[in-house]
Amino acid sequence: MQFAKESTIRAAPEKVFAFHELPDAIERLIPPWENARIIQKADIAKIGSQAIIEQKIFGLISSRWIAEHTKYEPPGEFEDVQISGPFKSWRHRHIIKPHVSGAILRDEIEFEPPLWIFGRFAAPIFILPKLEKMFTFRHTVTRHWCENND
């Protein structure tokens, strides 16, 4: 399955990429309604660096997500993949392209939901709306920082 979110940000691609390199970027990008705790931060500049996040799925089921950074090409792209976690598979590309107004930030996610066929039926109802809400928040946070910090 696929999910994508794209936004225009009035800042240079280098600045949008730099936001993601901030030491506290992950804390800024986790929405306040997510019941998540950062166990280990990743350094996106280091291939093989891992982030570990504990969260509660539906507020009930504990899950530990381990994501490894697999690509780092400033200022255009970086990528992480799930090593273990709630999805059968997860690949997240963070793409930043020049635009006449500044930059395009695009998040592309390829994933396979858990629970085999049941997960595929549940994804449009539960997973995709949650991703849309989460990435709308993340793009808003990124846009605000990039457009308001000189």
What's the CATH number where 75 sits? 3.30.530.20
| Residue-range definition of the domain harbouring residue 90 | 2-148
Decide if 63 contacts 56 (C-beta within 8 A).
yes
**Which element (helix H / strand E) includes 18?**
helix 13-21
pLDDT at 125: 82
Task: State the sign of the Cα–Cα–Cα–Cα dihedral 77, 91, 140, 24.
Answer: negative
Beta strands in the chain (DSSP E): 2-9, 36-40, 50-57, 61-73, 77-84, 89-99, 102-112
For residue 115, report the phi and psi dihedrals to the nearest 5 degrees: 65, 30
Q: Which amino acid is at 1?
A: M
Q: Is the pLDDT of residue 134 over 90?
A: yes
Q: Which pLDDT belongs to residue 129?
A: 93
- Give the pLDDT score at 59: 63
Q: What is the mean pLDDT of residues 24-45?
A: 94
pTM of the entire predicted model: 0.92
Q: What pLDDT, on the 0 to 100 scale, is given for residue 115?
A: 67
- Is the model more confident about 122 or about 104? 104
**Per the structure, how many domains does the chain have?**
1
44-61 mean pLDDT = 87
Answer whether 103's CB lies under 8 Å from 97's CB.
yes
Task: With cut-offs at 50, 70 and 90, classify the pLDDT of residue 149.
Answer: confident
Average pLDDT over residues 109-133: 82
Q: Is the pLDDT of residue 47 over 90?
A: yes
